[in-house]
Amino acid sequence: MGRGNQRYLIEDYLGRRARVYGGERAILVGILPPGASDEERETFEELRALAYTAGVLVVGHLLQHRRRPDPATFIGKGKAEELRDLAAALGADTALFNDELSPDQARTLEEITGLKIVDRTQLILDIFAQRAGTKEAELAVELAQLEYLLPRLRGWGKALTNPGGGIGTMGPGETKMEIERRKVKRRIQAVRRALREADRVREVRRKRRRTAAIPQVAIVGYTNSGKSTLFRRLTGEEVLVEDKLFATLDTVVRRIALEEGKFVLVSDTVGFIRKLPNQLIPAFRATMEAAREADLLLNVLDASSPRVLEHFRAVERILAEEVFAPDEPRPPVLHVLNKLDLVRDARQEAILGELKLEAGRYVEVSARLGWGMEKLKRAIAEALQDHWVDLKALVPYEKGDLLAFLGRRGKLEVLGDRDGGVLVHLVLPSAELPRLRAIPGLVLMEA
């Protein structure tokens, strides 16, 4: 659902439950337990970045320290009244909560504060809706929104409890809420059918890539770490690059040359974030599949961030818990320490030193300035060295058309005439070997 053709869901007609459209003045609201970890505190800072990405102006924040949310108002009635007074003083019209609220909690908070109440899940869904760039992404986001909306229709006030009637309804006694629930369910079914067809088309493309026997590399990492900038540097492609969360929502695949005869398919994927709504994990299965099918993962990390170590651990956890099954084999990971040009003080250097010890294999680059790109390509080639073979082949004179065939599959260097044929040096994907061995008259030998 791009901004231009965005579908307006039922909640838009309920006034205070309208989605985020940008331009709101908001107060950030969250709960932190006593002795909260740095990671828990950082999710609140991420909420600020999410608000910025959605076009919301943050005018204040309200933190409540308590062990568990209040069942009725999430933050407690006293804090809710404090939120109301703070909003009046700051001219805010919206409250953005750092957790998912129940429908009852949101309704009660609206009644107490008079504000539009938007929770973290709703905010992230809206950002994805604004930024989905392909039909498949639009459908995936719409499905996530509808599934989030459906259980929240019940009990949303008089707007959906008046009796309905007319063509397509179950009769004059059916309420508007029941009518709308049926409409949402029908739309969910239609979107799922469309996504199944999109899955089929994507599987055809995936099989074509596998047949080509070219190693696959997936760029993953914490959101806003510079993945799209790195992708652009490696491929020369003009992809969207913004200093905002979730700038990339669709998997983009391009072929690049590492060395002569050594090519890989590189995928740019959506960034990871902690507390990602469960609804969005299956919705962006295509991105997760790109990582699962890869022969190598490039984990891009913002080396200039004081929280880069926490980001590294968050990505490791998301890969382990949400991308790969416990018994599923995982491809090797090459960590790319990006934005090295912005590392300027001893504290950042110390954090990076700790990260390097924990990460293992890594390369330092600045995708923005182009530093370290050749070194990165060499590291990728080294990590994938088992995916290519270096050998010689004797092509009989009567099968000269094989030279063009071999040249299309990798590096081909003609060494000269030998024993009734042409001797060539080849560098090509290992997966091509069975096909070459089956060609009559072609003699393979060690390089």
Task: Quote the Cα angle for 291-200-181, to 5°.
Answer: 95
Report the b/e string of 354-385 with b at 16+ CB within 10 A.
Answer: ebeeebeebbbbbbbeebbbeebbebbbebbe
Q: Which of 251, 252, 250, 244 is nearest to 225 (CA)?
A: 244
Contact 287, 270 (CB under 8 A): yes
Q: What percent of the chain has pLDDT over 70?
A: 79
Q: Which domains are assigned to the chain?
A: 1-211 (3.40.50.11060), 213-383 (3.40.50.300), 387-446 (3.30.70.240)
Q: Which of 28, 16, 33, 116 is nearest to 69 (CA)?
A: 33
d(CA 212, CA 205): 11
Own/partner long-range contacts of 432-441 (Cβ < 8 Å, ≥24 apart): 432/213, 432/389, 433/389, 436/393, 436/406, 439/399, 439/402, 441/396, 441/398, 441/399
Tens-binned pLDDT, residue by residue, of the chain (447 aa): 333 444 444 444 443 454 676 778 999 999 988 877 666 677 787 888 888 878 889 999 998 888 899 999 999 999 999 999 999 999 999 999 998 888 889 889 988 999 988 888 888 888 777 666 667 777 887 888 888 877 776 544 444 444 443 333 344 445 666 777 788 889 889 988 988 887 777 677 666 656 657 888 999 888 778 888 899 899 886 544 444 455 455 566 788 888 877 889 898 777 777 777 776 666 555 556 778 788 999 999 999 988 899 889 888 888 888 778 787 788 999 999 999 999 988 988 999 999 998 988 999 999 999 999 999 999 999 999 988 888 999 999 988 888 988 888 888 899 999 888 999 999 888 888 888 899 988 999 887
**Residue 424, SS3 per DSSP:** strand
- Determine how many CB atoms are found less than 10 A away from the CB of residue 45: 12
Instruction: Tell whether the torsion through CA atoms of 364, 367, 373 and 379 is positive or negative.
Output: positive
- In the β-sheet with 94-97, what is the strand arrangement from edge to edge? 57-65, 25-32, 94-97, 116-119
On whether the pTM is more than 0.75, the answer is no
- DSSP β-bridge partners for residue 222: 272
- Residue 6 has a pLDDT of 43
d(CA 304, CA 351): 10
Task: Quote the Cα angle for 25-241-301, to 5°.
Answer: 95
Tokens of 426: 């080849």
